[in-house]
């Protein structure tokens, strides 16, 4: 029997998983010693063993649909990339990667593109998930950091969940809050969400905010905090900048205006404000409902402003707290997986940082400006400005906005390389070259969860067929392109050690992402690595649970910044498209179902795609519960089953993001979503598309 402690590959909670693998199969349990979950698992984690079968697995490389050797596939990719770069320059190629990749995979992809090819055209599906939080953190704190930790959610007297159906999307974190509430009945939970969800039903107060009303809500709260004397004057004076401008901009947001702009009843708002004002130990958690908006970064800063004013940061039970969607979204941010960042949180537009990284990598051709963010990247593919794209561990034909156009872009692209575990995704169908990757249980490396905690994923199964690790595929292509020495790693531990050394380089403690304590981690230490929160400064035995306890931030002045949100208006209702379509997750599916779609247990929860609609709207449209409907936007349409439910407010619809052509024809919600992005973060607004709905007739 093989016993392995590893990490769940789904959401950003990053739960520890204890695996027992025998000749008869694999048993999966929560790891009682992992500090993210202490033995708990949600339905998806508990069903991991059902996703390990080899049906549909991609077992051999393919070129134009035919089985090929690794040597031929590697040579073809390297030759094509080199030729395109020579003819059209480095910005004519791109990588589109994923928060499913491990830190080591991400690191070498970023090194190859930014240091050797000489372009910053590497972006990630994490752009769709948390880029607005990254941008908001950098504006407020001077670095992309989550100030608190999971324990803060248990120690708080008030937890506010904004745009987060935590009970379904980060279930173990929600279980931790619920367990804490059972132990401490005075602890309060407030949920800010346009929909009634499993999370809001457990709340003391549910604020059904209007789509686009979040910034107004937190501007109103900022004003209420100030008016009722909740300012931490000493903290604000000593450790922040810009408070007066933020307060002045929030001055018009009295209770009546806030109620009008949020469409929340004034009495409910007043209850929430009163609770927040008088509860010192408050954590505000935010995720996709905040991030996936045309004003996502402003929403993040509007929340952080309130915590700065009240001095509720850097202390146990006090923090603004972003939860990431993916298992290694945080790790991807750390190694520079975003097109606008260098490795180790260094900035691409900082000449000193570029020079430091160039020296460290001995890079022949450093990117000197930010690359294309996800939506712009696929636009450039469509416009033939990017002629070769390598897509790793993600399915943009389903998940990107204007998904039909993304499919068209890939079909007309000169070279599309896709690395995945299966050949059946909508994106794999567009590939010229398909590369078989190792999946969960077969690969080893590091991930970072939402509380900055690095954990090991460990292999307990051999790679099937000819599947290879993503980092190995990238290094082999880099070697063929002429950079063998710089990409000669024996295993993932060597890559991690190099990454830690780069993070530690010239780090005088002024930057958050300090891994100096891990630079000497040898292979045995890497294998035995216990979950640890960064920063891990030199000499530190463990990590750091909370940042900013000393009131020092990572801005040049050392002060946190209040940011005045812009207050972007919600798109006007068009008579032809009278409904606002919200998108999100179902409890028991993950992303585009490449893995969870294999589990019969998970399919029992919700087995098919659907759209939710309020009873009054259904009656007015003449639609009946459970019939098949057509949901139509100016860009595309989907066919799904109608679910008439009072959970949904009139005028608003909800559809899950998961289903796609591999599981149900014409059910990709991404085909309906306009490619509107937050101007600061580049994150697409996935939660407020204009649509109409009609009976599908005979389908």
Applying CB under 6 A, the residues found at the interface with ligand SF4 are 8, 10-11, 13-15, 37, 41-42, 44-45, 170-172
Query: For ligand SF4, which is the closer residue by CB, 47 or 377?
Result: 47
Q: What is the signed CA dihedral for 349, 351, 355, 358, rounded to 10 degrees?
A: 20
Compute the least distance from the CB of residue 449 to ligand SF4, in Å: 8
| The two three-digit tokens of residue 400, written as one number | 């990107």
Query: For ligand SF4, which is the closer residue by CB, 436 or 441?
Result: 441
Compute the least distance from the CB of residue 10 to ligand SF4, in Å: 3
Compute the least distance from the CB of residue 18 to ligand SF4, in Å: 12
List, in sequence order, every residue forming a beta bridge with 284; answer none if it has no partner: 160, 320
H helix count then E strand count, the chain: 24, 26
Q: Are 597 and 395 in contact (CB under 8 A)?
A: no
Query: For ligand SF4, which is the closer residue by CB, 297 or 447?
Result: 447
Residue least distant from ligand SF4 (Cβ): 45
| The two three-digit tokens of residue 242, written as one number | 């810009």
Query: For ligand SF4, which is the closer residue by CB, 213 or 584?
Result: 584
User: Residue 433: how many CB atoms within 10 A of its CB?
Assistant: 21
Compute the least distance from the CB of residue 175 to ligand SF4, in Å: 8
Q: Are 151 and 366 in contact (CB under 8 A)?
A: no
Query: For ligand SF4, which is the closer residue by CB, 10 or 141?
Result: 10
Query: For ligand SF4, which is the closer residue by CB, 8 or 655?
Result: 8
Q: What is the signed CA dihedral for 515, 518, 523, 524, rounded to 10 degrees?
A: -140
- CA–CA gap between residue 199 and residue 161 (Å, rounded): 9
Compute the least distance from the CB of residue 174 to ligand SF4, in Å: 8
Closest CA to 306 of 358, 230, 370: 230
Q: What is the signed CA dihedral for 45, 47, 48, 53, rounded to 10 degrees?
A: -170
Compute the least distance from the CB of residue 42 to ligand SF4, in Å: 3
Spatial strand order in the sheet of 415-420: 66-67, 62-63, 433-436, 415-420, 388-392, 93-97, 122-124
Compute the least distance from the CB of residue 40 to ligand SF4, in Å: 7
- CA–CA gap between residue 324 and residue 331 (Å, rounded): 11
Query: For ligand SF4, which is the closer residue by CB, 213 or 439?
Result: 439
Strand 188-192 relative to strand 205-207, pairing = parallel
Compute the least distance from the CB of residue 36 to ligand SF4, in Å: 7
Query: For ligand SF4, which is the closer residue by CB, 192 or 602?
Result: 602
Compute the least distance from the CB of residue 586 to ligand SF4, in Å: 13
Q: Are 152 and 321 in contact (CB under 8 A)?
A: yes
Compute the least distance from the CB of residue 287 to ligand SF4, in Å: 12
Query: For ligand SF4, which is the closer residue by CB, 415 or 657?
Result: 657
- CA–CA gap between residue 384 and residue 114 (Å, rounded): 21
From residue 550, alpha-carbon distances to 142, 147, 314, 447 in Å are 15, 12, 8, 28
Query: For ligand SF4, which is the closer residue by CB, 553 or 590?
Result: 590
- CA–CA gap between residue 14 and residue 37 (Å, rounded): 8
């Amino acid at each position: 029997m093989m016993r392995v402690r590893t990490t769940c590959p789904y959401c950003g909670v990053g739960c520890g998983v204890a695996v027992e693998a025998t000749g008869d199969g694999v048993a999966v349990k929560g790891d009682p010693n992992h500090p993210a979950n202490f033995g708990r698992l949600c339905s998806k984690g508990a069903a991991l063993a059902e996703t390990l079968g080899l049906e549909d697995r991609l077992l051999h490389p393919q070129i134009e649909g035919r089985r090929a050797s690794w040597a031929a596939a590697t040579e073809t990719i390297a030759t094509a990339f080199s030729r395109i770069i020579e003819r059209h320059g480095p910005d004519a190629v791109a990588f589109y990667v994923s928060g499913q990749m491990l830190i080591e995979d991400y690191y070498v992809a970023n090194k190859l593109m930014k240091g050797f090819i000489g372009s910053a055209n590497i972006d990630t599906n994490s752009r769709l998930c948390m880029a607005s939080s990254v941008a908001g953190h950098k504006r407020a704190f001077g670095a992309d950091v989550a100030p608190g930790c999971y324990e803060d959610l248990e120690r708080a007297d008030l937890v506010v969940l904004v745009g987060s159906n935590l009970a379904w999307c980060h279930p173990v974190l929600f279980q931790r809050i619920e367990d804490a509430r059972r132990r401490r009945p005075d602890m309060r939970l407030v949920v800010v969400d346009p929909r009634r969800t499993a999370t809001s039903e457990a709340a003391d107060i549910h604020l059904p905010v209007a789509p686009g009303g979040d910034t107004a809500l937190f501007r109103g709260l900022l004003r209420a905090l100030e008016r009722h004397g909740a300012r931490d004057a000493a903290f604000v004076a000593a450790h922040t900048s810009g408070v007066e401008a933020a307060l002045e901009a929030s001055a018009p947001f009295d209770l009546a205006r806030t109620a009008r702009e949020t469409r929340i009843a004034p009495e409910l708002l007043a209850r929430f404000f009163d609770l927040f004002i008088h509860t010192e130990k408050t954590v505000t958690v935010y995720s996709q409902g905040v991030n996936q908006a045309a004003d996502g970064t402003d929403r993040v800063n509007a929340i952080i402003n309130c915590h700065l004013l009240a001095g509720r940061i850097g202390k146990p039970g006090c923090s603004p707290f972003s939860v990431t969607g993916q298992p290694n979204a945080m790790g991807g941010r750390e190694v520079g997986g975003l097109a606008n960042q260098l490795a180790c949180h260094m900035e691409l537009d900082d000449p000193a940082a570029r020079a430091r990284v160039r020296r460290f990598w001995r890079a022949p051709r450093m990117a000197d400006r930010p690359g294309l963010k996800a939506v712009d990247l696929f636009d450039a593919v469509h416009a033939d400005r990017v002629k070769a794209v390598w897509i790793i561990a993600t399915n943009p034909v389903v998940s990107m906005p204007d998904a039909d156009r993304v499919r068209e872009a890939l079909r007309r692209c000169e070279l599309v390389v896709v690395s995945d575990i299966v050949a059946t995704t909508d994106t794999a169908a567009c590939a010229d070259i398909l590369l078989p990757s190792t999946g969960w249980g077969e690969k080893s490396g590091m991930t970072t969860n939402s509380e900055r905690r690095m954990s090991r994923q460990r292999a307990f199964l051999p790679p099937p067929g000819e599947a290879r690790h993503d980092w190995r595929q990238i290094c082999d292509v880099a070697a063929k392109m002429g950079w063998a020495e710089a990409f000669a790693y024996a295993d993932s531990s060597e890559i991690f050690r190099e990454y830690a050394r780069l993070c530690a380089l010239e780090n005088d403690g002024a930057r958050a992402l300090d891994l100096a304590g891990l630079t000497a981690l040898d292979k045995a230490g890497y294998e035995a690595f216990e979950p640890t929160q960064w920063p891990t400064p030199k000499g530190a035995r463990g990590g750091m649970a909370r940042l900013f306890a000393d009131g020092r931030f990572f801005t040049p002045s050392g002060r946190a910044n209040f940011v005045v949100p812009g207050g972007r208006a919600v798109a006007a209702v068009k008579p032809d498209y009278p409904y606002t379509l919200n998108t999100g997750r179902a409890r028991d599916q993950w992303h585009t179902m490449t893995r969870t779609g294999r589990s019969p247990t998970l399919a029992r929860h919700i087995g098919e795609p659907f759209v939710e609609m309020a009873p009054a709207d259904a009656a007015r449209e003449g639609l009946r519960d459970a019939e098949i409907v057509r949901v139509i936007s100016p860009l595309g349409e989907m066919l799904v089953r109608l679910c008439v439910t009072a959970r949904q407010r009139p005028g608003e619809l909800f559809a899950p993001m998961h289903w796609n052509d591999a599981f149900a024809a014409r059910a990709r919600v991404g085909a309906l979503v306009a490619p509107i992005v937050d101007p600061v973060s580049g994150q697409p607004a996935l939660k407020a598309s204009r649509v109409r709905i009609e009976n599908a007739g005979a389908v």
